[in-house]
Structure 1
């Protein structure tokens, strides 16, 4: 993938990554989770309402791009409560299990080829690594075998804004001690990640939509990084 001309690798001091769909493929994860959900609830039909809770949680989040807190972590569950039809405590329990705990066991098999190698290459070059996701990310990173210097999600109290609001990106850059134009944000959704980076004044790359077994995005970036920063010998 050719890099946009506005990105000058010798100037880049940090790469900030989105997580879902950026570090791992969501299609593999969704297939596995569908099988698990169907298998679980086929044996427990009296709990099918929990599937409706999950669907509503996703839908309510998706229709509120740029939503602002306060207390966004809890507000996202209030959006789904449907005037008390779904108790907030139950919503939290179901979402936590099926969105933030159960899927993590499958992440090692869903990580994009070249991701771990690219992270290692950034470390070797002294380039800092940040994470900015709309969802909680610490446990996902651990399951993926990745680490970062700063990890932030939109529902953290210091952010309390969903993408494409730029506060999360600006917060990560500041925490790294960098200006926005010294960072590059890598995401998978132009309408959220791309718009977020644009509002933050930060260069952005959008992950190529490549089949998993032919995914070369991060391998290509690692090669370009090495080429750009290798001293020329005369």
Structure 2
């Protein structure tokens, strides 16, 4: 099946050897939904919440530092990235990892879910469904847990891999999770396509893995 017969992204042809592609692995945040749009919605809810609860306004710094520290330490080699991400932010904000986990779970993992469907990238979701119809395997590799987001988007790929999974434990651009996803799908790396939104994370991850990739605007 020729991908060029399936889909055109933003009216530009996919510049790959599409005849070889047997599986497509998607990033999630910023790829399957509009990240900035959902950030704006959540930000408004955060402002309204902490205006009513000024005693908890320090949580905003925890949210900010969690995301910043995760970016800052993306290339760090750690034994347990799932717990390390909370420890990085806890050290920065002088709070406990448990407190960071509680705030992050609410504002980064739970609240955005109710906006997910309204912020979906319809063109990319159309591609996802057409791939399935045409017998091309689909997978997901995300830096964050993705199952709940995919359910809200109505997507059910054949494999879901997160950087924080115990068998991965590496943030992008480390290619470990991408290689695991290809292995689960049973497709050679060079016969997969990664679709993401960040060249410094998704693009570099694919390059290190030796996998063709497409970076969306």
- What is the TM-score of this pair, normalised by structure 1? 0.85
2:109 is equivalent to residue 100 of structure 1: yes
2:144 is equivalent to residue 135 of structure 1: yes
After superposition, where does 1:19-168 map in structure 2 within 5 Å? Answer: 19-82=28-91, 85-168=94-177
- 1:15–1:52 distance in 2 versus 1, CA, 3 Å: same
- 1:92–1:124 distance in 2 versus 1, CA, 3 Å: same
Distance 2:93 2:13 in 1: 51
Distance 1:65 1:86 in 2: 21
CA deviations 1:143-168 (Å, max 9, x no partner) are: 11111111011111111111111111
Distance 2:131 2:27 in 1: 16
Name the residue aligned to 2:14. Answer: 3
On the 8 A contact 2:62/2:93 being kept in 1, the answer is no
**Over the residues paired in the alignment, what is the CA RMSD in angstroms?**
1.3
Name the residue aligned to 2:192. Answer: 183
Distance 1:22 1:68 in 2: 26
- Unpaired runs of 5+ in structure 2? 1-11
1:69 alignment partner, SS class: coil
On the 8 A contact 2:194/2:206 being kept in 1, the answer is yes
Distance 1:20 1:152 in 2: 13
| Bigger Cα Rg | 1
Distance 2:214 2:93 in 1: 41
- What is the TM-score of this pair, normalised by structure 2? 0.92
How many matched pairs?
206
- Unpaired runs of 5+ in structure 1? 209-234
Distance 1:33 1:138 in 2: 19
CA deviations 1:173-193 (Å, max 9, x no partner) are: 011111110100000000110
2:67 alignment partner, SS class: helix
On the 8 A contact 1:68/1:160 being kept in 2, the answer is no
1:155 alignment partner, SS class: coil
- 1:102–1:202 distance in 2 versus 1, CA, 3 Å: same
2:91 alignment partner, SS class: coil
